[in-house]
Structure 1
């Protein structure tokens, strides 16, 4: 059944307040791979409260609110998280009280047989000063809710990854407890830990959080290209294409681009992709991470 676009676009979300501290930031850092091996001095900065830096992608966990909690008339049984974009306006401090404002700025009707794409934007601001830390946009693919416009719309063009060997590739193995650690940063969807729930959703076993993979890629990019300096990351985005599972060995490849696709000067732009070589699958594609030039 097609959704009502006017109802969805006009929906008013209640602001979400959240207070976090060093423990939350360090727990998130563990969830995306910091400390999995003996950390370097620069990596220790994300795990040690006395000189703590906050991973930029921690922002995707702040003010998290599932659209399942809202009365939007969507068939949530057929909704999947398909894309994510994060814009960093300034570094997150180790401790803060934030307020998050949510809205649906865009709906794309792919047709009655193809579903719809819902864009949920979340601004993360300091609750006292209203300083803007980050803008996070989650794209949900609503497979049962297309057909609400007279003509279907084309999907927005995705960032293309070059058809050449990558400049750098990093191998990692996702530990057996990866989902149990990552969920403690706020995403308690049972799909990631409960075998019975995963089976009902059509999976042989629980799948890992897509945002865990985004965090892994962001961690590796920050170390290899951003000097472990959170203030240098401008943005990161990707498309989730295949599920990953605990124990998977992944390969994260990066391609240096000749210019910034968004046209900002003094910007280092990198395409990236996450593969599961053993299955010959691409789990995360169309990735773009951007850094302020040093």
Structure 2
């Protein structure tokens, strides 16, 4: 059973994260940038000989606190990624030293026999100046952990997309080995590499990281709404609704206002809903 008081008062150590241009390129490659060798706009994210820029979604791996849920007794095979938000306060440097400070902001009890939600927030700051670069918010769904006596709900209603046809549709393929590449960013949950761990979690085979899908969707958004200008994306949020298997195609339907949703083409399954991105000029 979850210990509500322990989780709400949990003190996670700050993470000092030093990275360089190779790490920035690795992240971009791991979410599919560079698959079209003739698209020079993508090369700005993966070719160190150019004026390299960072993917805004890289905020999710900077200052990563690791699989800390396992450290408080949570069975990782029962953990699903529910929602993800990022807010960019300025473009992420392509190299540097940052401090990631993560804290639990909410623990929600969905009821006995159901599940629980744990919401955490990470603030990413430059070590040298303390300047805030990005804030991320993660909601994890814990299957079967409900009924511990905590609060039953919090937060506002999810963003509703327009009831019109999308203005853009972007198909981006993933690769069969993409989860294995994405793991090099620091998330080595065996669910994404080990067939037996995937089966224990209820999947036929290893699935793609939710945050890898998040990066692929971010690519689609900056492609059509920002013309690959990474500095224009200010925020992005979505709710995950189904997993992606490596090798599948992610289709993102996008409205000019920044609303979006995504599905897997091969299975016609919606994998991300209630999406909203905001852009600056």
Which residue is 1:267 aligned to? none
| Residues 1-294 of structure 1: pairs in structure 2 closer than 5 A | 1=1, 3-50=2-49, 51-64=51-64, 65-71=66-72, 73-149=73-149, 152-153=152-153, 156-257=156-257, 270-292=258-280, 294=281
- Cα distance in structure 2, aligned partners of 1:184 and 1:76: 19
Over 3 Å counting, the alpha-carbon distance change for 1:150 and 1:104 in structure 2 is: closer
- Cα distance in structure 2, aligned partners of 1:216 and 1:122: 21
Instruction: Quote how far apart the aligned CAs of 1:162 are.
Output: 2.3
Instruction: Quote how far apart the aligned CAs of 1:283 are.
Output: 1.1
SS in 2 for 1:67: coil
Large movers: runs of 4+ above 6 Å? none
Structure 2: give runs of 5+ residues left out of the alignment: none
- Cα distance in structure 2, aligned partners of 1:156 and 1:4: 25
Instruction: Quote how far apart the aligned CAs of 1:75 are.
Output: 4.6
SS in 1 for 2:129: coil
SS in 2 for 1:220: helix
Over 3 Å counting, the alpha-carbon distance change for 1:39 and 1:15 in structure 2 is: farther
- Cα distance in structure 1, aligned partners of 2:97 and 2:82: 29
Instruction: Quote how far apart the aligned CAs of 1:209 are.
Output: 0.8
Normalising by the residue count of structure 2, what TM-score does the alignment of the two structures yield?
A: 0.93
Q: Structure 1, residues 83-134: CA drift from partner, whole Å, max 9, x if none?
A: 1111101111111101111111112222223222111111111111111111
**Conserved? CA contact 1:161–1:286, under 8 Å:** yes
- Cα distance in structure 2, aligned partners of 1:250 and 1:122: 27
Normalising by the residue count of structure 1, what TM-score does the alignment of the two structures yield?
A: 0.89
SS in 1 for 2:69: helix
- Cα distance in structure 2, aligned partners of 1:151 and 1:196: 35
Structure 1: give runs of 5+ residues left out of the alignment: 258-269
SS in 2 for 1:111: coil
Instruction: Quote how far apart the aligned CAs of 1:194 are.
Output: 1.4
Worse-matched range after superposition: 43-52 or 121-130: 43-52
Cα RMSD of the aligned pairs, angstroms, is 1.8
The total of aligned residue pairs comes to 279
